[in-house]
């Protein structure tokens, strides 16, 4: 099937799913998947010669607990469909996958995007808690000391209750 036909299939599928996307060139789609933990996951769909390639940024390289962080994503890879976690040259975490063009249907594209969203959104807080615990605790302490909102940090309340916030520099 030609790239133009695949573009039409992808456009139709994205439109029927009410997803926001840009189509900057033939065979290239930049899709925004809405989430709950990770507010959005940006995802490229690229029609290559023999495959549809999907690539989505998940989070930057971890600050700490590298072994635990990478163990988590390697184990998670065993349960993912059509995509897997990988690192870019700077160590940032992505989901990538390839599906043969012959297998790309509206249902398969929906399943693939659903898996990207489920993984990126579903694993997001666990990845942050493992790889960025000190930064989260520091941010909590800073906001608390200034009376700032903790609303978007509430998912990590158990981390702060267990280990305590990192006090702001002026209080150390």
pLDDT of res. 2 = 52
CATH of region 3-122, choose from 1.20.1250.20, 3.30.1460.10, 3.40.50.620, 3.40.109.10: 3.30.1460.10
pLDDT-based confidence at 1, cuts 50/70/90? very low
pLDDT tens-digit map of 41-67: 999 999 999 999 999 999 999 999 999
For the chain, where do the domains classified as CATH 3.30.1460.10 start and end? 3-122
Count the Cβ atoms, other than its own, within 10 Å of residue 30: 14
DSSP reduced 3-state for 166 = coil
For range 12-20, the mean pLDDT: 97
Model's pTM, two decimal places? 0.91
């Amino acid at each position: 099937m030609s790239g133009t036909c695949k573009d039409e299939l992808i456009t139709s599928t994205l439109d029927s799913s009410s997803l926001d996307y840009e189509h900057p060139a033939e065979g290239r789609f930049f899709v925004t998947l809405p989430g709950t933990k990770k507010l959005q996951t940006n995802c490229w769909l690229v029609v290559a010669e023999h495959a549809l390639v999907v690539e989505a940024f998940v989070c930057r390289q971890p600050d700490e607990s590298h072994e635990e962080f990478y163990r988590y994503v390697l184990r998670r890879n065993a349960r993912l469909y059509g995509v897997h976690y990988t690192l870019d040259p700077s160590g940032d975490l992505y989901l990538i996958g390839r599906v043969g063009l012959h297998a790309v249907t509206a249902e398969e594209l929906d399943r693939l995007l659903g898996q990207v969203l489920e993984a990126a959104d579903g694993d997001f807080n666990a990845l942050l808690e493992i790889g960025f615990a000190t930064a989260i605790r520091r941010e909590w302490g800073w906001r608390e000391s200034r009376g700032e909102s903790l609303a978007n940090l509430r998912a990590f309340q158990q981390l702060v209750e267990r280990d305590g916030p990192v006090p702001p520099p002026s209080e150390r």
